Structure 1
Amino acid sequence: MKRVLAYLNDAVLRAYVALQVFAATEPVRLRAALTSAVMVLAFAFPSISAGLAERVGYVGAVALPILVGESARKKVTPATGDDEA
């Protein structure tokens, strides 16, 4: 039984680390996936109100860029407007 629990714990930790890496490398896709998942749950289970789904989407849209925004910001080159031609 301990071996099964150790395997499950290992799988959960690997999934958690993979999610962190994905959130750091693909914040826009993660935010879209989370919002879509909440909307699907709201559609599948009508007891979840649309307001709750919207709030979760807003929190994801605000909190995720704050949490992983710096690493994503470093990957984007800002447009300076100085075109050298």
Structure 2
Amino acid sequence: LNEAGCKTVGLEPFPDHHPYSEDEVMRLAEAASAARAILVTTEKDFVRLPEKARPMVTVLRVALAWDDEAALEALLAPLRAGDRGPVESE
């Protein structure tokens, strides 16, 4: 956000795949409002928000750009071929 010219006034990290509660989002939205800011999340986390909380949050769309398309193809080729890598035994 900072690199895009936005000024961040707060940050609250959550664990990956966190099941956000309506109370959590409400608390964050109130803090953002008090700071005259908006509450922002990625599309990935937006889908984990409770339906009632979604109108309080702005979605940041993230895109990837590859400078070396051949490197990307080399990375994806084993997956396309069905090779999921080594399987660890227990």
Normalising by the smaller structure, the TM-score range is: under 0.3
Q: With structure 1 as the length reference, what TM-score do the two structures score?
A: 0.27
Higher helix share: 1
